[in-house]
Amino acid sequence: MAFLDIQHLEKSFGPTRVVKDFNLDIEKGEFVSFLGPSGCGKTTVLRMVAGFETPTSGAIRIDGREVTGLAANRRNIGMVFQSYALFPNLTVAENIGFGLKVAREGKAATARRVGEMLDLIGLPQLGGRYPFQLSGGQQQRVALARALAPRPQVLLLDEPLSALDAKVRISLRDEIRRIQRDLGITAIFVTHDQEEALSISDRVVVTHRGVADQVGTPFEIYNRPATRFVAQFVGTLNLLDADVLDATTGKVRLGGVPVALDQPLNGRPGERISLAMRPESVELGRSDCDRVVLSGEIAAVHFLGSVIRIKVAVAGQFVSLDTFNQPDRPPPSVGTTVEVSLPHRDLLVL
Ligand code: ADP
Ligand code: MG
């Protein structure tokens, strides 16, 4: 059985159902992210796991034990919030030791554990400081140490990086992952940032209107989106109109060109469908037999740094493509006539 098992979890506030039949199995030591737009119920699920919110129905088990009706302080869970929520009148060491004091750990054991935690978060010298004397990133490390000090079975992190600036966000995200791996602790990490979720998770749960739309590895979520919502929310996507020619053989017309897809489709001849493709699958030029070649005109060039995103107008629609920056070759300019090619096998039918 899974280490953390969520079954048919539902939550309504008054007449509004904000979590709907949410199911998830998490293995021991796994790092799972909830990824979704704001307001889709991520925090509510996390708060039910933590015991701060009572489910309307459904069950939560941790390590084989049903915890659904258990008070938060009996669940052995550590939690980190977006707002660091440190006690302002306590030192860093007192903050980290707070949970141990509540659990009536002895003074010596507490001091030892606080020292270990300060080392773990890389701030061994700062135990005597107060929160206001720390940067945002340091405060969030202390919040993490405070959550981990009582040796919880599960660590819950609710958008812990959202209040930090970009550089700190990336370094702390890697550090959270390193600490989680070192301790082998089971973790749920909530974020609305797809890059964050894809870059550090074993698995990602894409949530949408209170439902888990898709659960999978970052690779699966990005390359094989199960729903239109997942496809559009995660990463950038070209959505292209095509007309069905023959559904059983998967033949469509795209940008005036007949294309044989690898898969059968639904739809009558002449019916319009949407095909999706990631910008990195599209190339400038390159005609070979397993690619659709379309001609168009460059409508926009976005220099993003290591990647250049080029938007091409093709037969009344736009196709975006990504190329890597090459320092000795400036990107083509707007208005240039080009051919773009799309590999058949990467066209997704949505
Ligand atoms: P997320 O964390 O994904 O942004 P939340 O779980 O915080 O989403 O909220 C989901 C929905 O539930 C939102 O529409 C929010 O307004 C509503 N909600 C959350 N908590 C309460 C509450 N205590 N009372 C009423 N509505 C709530
Ligand atoms: Mg939230």
Dump pLDDT digits (tens) for 207-258.
Answer: 999 999 999 999 999 988 888 899 889 988 898 999 999 988 889 999 888 8
The rounded mean pLDDT for the chain is: 93
User: Which residue minimizes the CA distance to atom 16 of ligand 1?
Assistant: 39
Please, are residues 80 and 59 in contact by the beta-carbon 8 Å criterion?
no
d(CA 154, CA 185): 6
Angle between helix axes 92-102 and 107-120 (nearest 10 degrees) is 130
Q: 14 C-alpha to center of ligand 1: Å?
A: 12
Identify the residues whose C-beta falls under 6 Å from ligand 1.
Answer: 13, 18, 36, 38-44
The CA R_g of the chain, rounded to the nearest whole Å, is 25
**Residue 54 CB coordination number (10 Å):** 10
Please, are residues 299 and 334 in contact by the beta-carbon 8 Å criterion?
yes
User: Which residue minimizes the CA distance to atom 24 of ligand 1?
Assistant: 13
d(CA 161, CA 268): 48
Ligand with the closest atom to the CA of 207: 1
> Given the CA of residue 158, which atom of ligand 1 is nearest to it?
2
- Predicted complex ipTM: 0.98
| 281: amino acid identity, one letter | S
User: Which residue minimizes the CA distance to atom 20 of ligand 1?
Assistant: 44
pTM of the model: 0.89
Range 293-304 burial, b when 16+ CB lie within 10 A, else e: ebebebeebeee
Dump pLDDT digits (tens) for 246-304.
Answer: 988 889 999 888 888 877 888 889 899 988 899 999 999 877 878 889 999 999 999 99
Partners of 9 in the beta sheet?
Answer: 22
d(CA 129, CA 151): 23
Burial of 100 from C-beta contacts in 10 A (0-12 / 13-18 / 19+):
buried
